[in-house]
Structure 1
Amino acid sequence: MKITIDVDLSPQEARELMGWPDMSKLHETTIRMVTEQLQSGNQEAVMSMLKPYLDGSQQAFSFYKNMMEGLTTGNSPKK
């Protein structure tokens, strides 16, 4: 026997059900600040905020690339 239950919730309802905080005000404030920095021509401030995320993405891509190369050549991934 197979039973399926579909639950139709809005993001807000799901957060409340799970007990997660509503981060929408923080998100709106952050987006507004980044937009203001970009409009004022201050790309350095925006890049300094994004640098940790970009560095992590680059490391993850390098790991993925090495893993795929290892799979295609039959070698183990390089560390």
Structure 2
Amino acid sequence: MKVNVTFDMTPEEFRRLLGLPDVQQFQTDVFEQMMEKMKAGEEGYDPMSIYQPMMEKGISAMADFQQNMMAMMMAGQTKK
């Protein structure tokens, strides 16, 4: 059996439905402060040093996902 459910609502409406907080203004403020410090050349606000940990985790997460998928496919092959 296959069931499809479609929600016709905006992301804002969906966020409210789930009871999630509105963090848009907070994100905007933090981003503006970060940009000001990067433009001023403050220590520790090099764009590459800020985003490097996120890039590494994103790449390793994808590799982990691929390894898990391969392990599941191989496990299915050995049971047959």
User: For 2:9 and 2:21, how far apart are their aligned partners in 1?
Assistant: 16
Match of 1:45 in 2: 45
Q: Secondary structure of the equivalent of 1:45?
A: coil
TM-score by length of 1: 0.54
Match of 2:8 in 1: 8
Q: Within 5 Å, which residues of 2 pair with 1:20-39?
A: 20-39=20-39
The CA deviation string for residues 49-68 of structure 1, in whole angstroms up to 9 with x for no partner, is 837x717835x63xx48x86
1:17 aligns with 2:11: no
Runs ≥4 residues deviating over 2 A: 1-5, 55-58
Q: Within 5 Å, which residues of 2 pair with 1:50-69?
A: 50=50, 54=53, 57=56, 61=60, 64=63
Structure 2 alignment gaps of length 5 or more: 71-80
User: For 1:42 and 1:19, how far apart are their aligned partners in 2?
Assistant: 37
RMSD: 3.7
Percent identity (aligned): 19
Equivalenced residues, count: 63
Structure 1 alignment gaps of length 5 or more: 72-79
